[in-house]
Structure 1
Amino acid sequence: MLVAAIAVPPLLSRSQLAVFILLGVAATVTVGVSLLMGYAGQVTLGQAAFLAIGAYTAGLLAVHGVPTLLGLALAPLVAALAAALIGAPLLRLRGHHLAFATLAVQLILLSLLSQGDWAGGAIGLQGIPRLSVGGHELAGDVGYAYLAWGALVLVMLITANLVASRSGRGLRALATGEIAAAASGVPVGRYRLTVFALSAAFAGLAGGIYAYYVGYLAPGSFPVLLSIEYVVMAVVGGLGTTFGPVLGATAVVLLVQVLNHLGTQPGMPGYAPAVLSYAVYALVLVLVVLYLPRGVVPALTSWRKGR
């Protein structure tokens, strides 16, 4: 994957490169969603909130003169800290109650950002400088493609090593059943909170990259539909897998591009892209749950082993 990420960007056009960068950002967030839902068994509908926290952290620090590299480093830390503070009371909930609670967190955050002059309000935060490394500004899209996909490879390595560790065995037990895991000595509450914070850190890192790449942030950049997209990506690719989020993110991002192109055709109403997105996401989820309940990557793995 690293070799492909290095070889592909110079071959892409400007528009294709933008999609490639946003795909890397989306896949980075989805790795955290897959880890959270696949191992900790927690359904989240507000992961875009932590993407926004990371993005606004990096953007606000950069606007106020803090070195951009430091802002990028602090983005995942602030997102993880926010998740730890929010998750301590929130993770007492289960199932759809937790899903609605995470959704409420995102709605509250969007309301605060739209009303806060410190964050640019509804107009948004403008004038975010480009990322600088060692005094050299990362101006080209190819550089951001390397940055986004380098971050994706990093979070995949962290996830793979975590799952393979002793703590990862505890997470696998937790995914099987909380009562059985607790009876085996797994600190269920601490593990769930740790995974929740780690998934938020992945989203925060992606948010920092997004802020420096786009150069402009607004509450409308982080809609509820975006959180639903991440869940769809994780479920389609395969929860609790390392490569599933990348495959799921690739499928959904390309699907979004097709739907946006279709919804903006002459004669289509202005609300067509949003309506098409919701309808197709629902259809994809239903089909995957019915025919590929474990996701595409586990299904392909089972098929390969059964040959």
Structure 2
Amino acid sequence: MRRHLPVAAAVALVLALPPLLSSSHLAVFTLLGLAATVTVGLSLLMGYAGQVSLGQASFYAIGAYTAGLLSVHGAPTLAGLAAAPVVAALSATVVGVSLLRLRGHHLAFATLATQLILLSLLARGEWAGGAIGLQGIPRLSIGGYELAGDLGYAYLAWAALGLAVLVTANVMASRPGRGLRALATSEVAAAASGVPVGRYRLAVFALSAAFAGLAGGVYAFYLGYLAPGSFPILLSIEYVVMAVVGGMGTVWGAVAGATAIMLLVQLLTTIGTQPGMPSYAPSVLSYAVYAVVLVLVVLFLPRGIVPAARDARIRLRR
């Protein structure tokens, strides 16, 4: 019973907090839930499959454009939201068959190239609105109830995060989850024990893309407008930093890392938009601070915030 108290407290906080927030803080809260949803999948991919993806925002974009395009062309908005993670997972499966044969920085740069290609296609494709963007995306309607206010999308974003956490927890508690833990320890030993390494890595890659696609679908209906500039390379780097800072391979590490980095992003945006600062200041500050944060975490908290806190708690009990 005591083991579930932190989870119950977190759920109560998420339910009680949104009505108390201002409109600007509510927007940050919503985007935080979406970022944490993407990071849960990326943390699973990096922590258990041992693969670094620098193009996770591409699956975020695929989910967003899938939901947006379907709804703009007359499909029910709920169907568009349901299709977003499916199309993202299928895209990851098709791409992953070739990409996951690579290792290390080769795979990282290949995923980065995938996002660049996708952004180029979206910017040039009239079917996606081109560089101007996809406009006129309707509000999400669930059972005849239209989510018109930011409060509803805040709850929806964190419901998506809850679903991602629940799916991840069940996957890790299953037999494939034990195979993934063996894969994280040693790929050679896992293969020798009968774990289908290639199939499991592809499955995790697709699952992480599905989480990103689900978050992208919520994002599309939340903003009602999509453009290639909404999914820059910097966004993928943010997700990697979130996963590393919070702790790879841990569900709550992804949430903690996303929270820490989102607050840092807001601080950097505030500093970079001060009078007298150049227009490129927020991007330059972000790249610089991300590099510093990664170096500090690798040096002093190599396993991330949540594993370090867990180890400290165990030492205190002893």
One fold, TM greater than 0.5?
Answer: yes
Structure 2 residue 258 is the aligned partner of structure 1 residue 240: no
Mapped contact 1:2–1:150 kept (Cα < 8 A)? no
- Matched with 1:38 is 47
Displacement after TM superposition at 1:299 (Å): 0.2
- Matched with 2:6 is none
Structure 2 residue 82 is the aligned partner of structure 1 residue 73: yes
Displacement after TM superposition at 1:104 (Å): 0.4
Task: Give every structure 1 segment of 4 or more consecutive aligned residues whose post-TM-superposition deviation is greater than 6 Å.
Answer: none
Structure 2 residue 143 is the aligned partner of structure 1 residue 134: yes
Displacement after TM superposition at 1:182 (Å): 0.1
- Matched with 2:216 is 207
- Superposed CA deviations along residues 243-273 of structure 1, whole A, max 9, x for unmatched, are 0011000010010001000001111111110
Shifted more, 157-166 versus 187-196: the winner is: 157-166
Shifted more, 156-165 versus 71-80: the winner is: 156-165
Distance in structure 2 (CA, Å) of the matches to 1:45 and 1:65: 33
- Superposed CA deviations along residues 70-91 of structure 1, whole A, max 9, x for unmatched, are 1000000000000000000110
Q: Which secondary structure does the structure 1 equivalent of 2:212 belong to?
A: helix
Structure 2 counterpart of 1:24, one-letter code: G
Identity %: 77
Shifted more, 100-109 versus 157-166: the winner is: 157-166
Displacement after TM superposition at 1:2 (Å): 2.0
1:172 to 171, 181, 187: 181
TM-score by length of 2: 0.96
Structure 1 counterpart of 2:14, one-letter code: A
Q: Which secondary structure does the structure 2 equivalent of 1:61 belong to?
A: helix
Structure 2 residue 165 is the aligned partner of structure 1 residue 156: yes
- Superposed CA deviations along residues 156-187 of structure 1, whole A, max 9, x for unmatched, are 01111111111111000101111110000000
Shifted more, 159-168 versus 218-227: the winner is: 159-168
Aligned counterparts, 1:92-107, within 5 A: 92-107=101-116
Aligned counterparts, 1:208-223, within 5 A: 208-223=217-232
- Matched with 1:261 is 270
Structure 2 residue 193 is the aligned partner of structure 1 residue 188: no
- Matched with 1:276 is 285
1:122 to 123, 126, 131: 131
Structure 2 counterpart of 1:301, one-letter code: R
- Matched with 1:292 is 301
Structure 1: segments with no counterpart, 5+ residues: none
Matched residue count: 307
Structure 2 counterpart of 1:303, one-letter code: A
Structure 2 counterpart of 1:106, one-letter code: Q
- Matched with 1:10 is 19
Structure 2 counterpart of 1:100, one-letter code: F
Distance in structure 1 (CA, Å) of the matches to 2:315 and 2:145: 52
- Matched with 2:234 is 225
Structure 2 counterpart of 1:236, one-letter code: V
Structure 2: segments with no counterpart, 5+ residues: 1-9
Distance in structure 1 (CA, Å) of the matches to 2:114 and 2:268: 28
Structure 2 counterpart of 1:114, one-letter code: A
Structure 1 counterpart of 2:252, one-letter code: F
Distance in structure 1 (CA, Å) of the matches to 2:11 and 2:93: 31
Distance in structure 1 (CA, Å) of the matches to 2:312 and 2:78: 44
Structure 1 counterpart of 2:263, one-letter code: L
2:258 to 239, 249, 252: 249
Q: Which secondary structure does the structure 2 equivalent of 1:243 belong to?
A: helix
Displacement after TM superposition at 1:242 (Å): 1.2
- Superposed CA deviations along residues 269-304 of structure 1, whole A, max 9, x for unmatched, are 111100000000000000000000000000000000
Structure 1 counterpart of 2:267, one-letter code: V
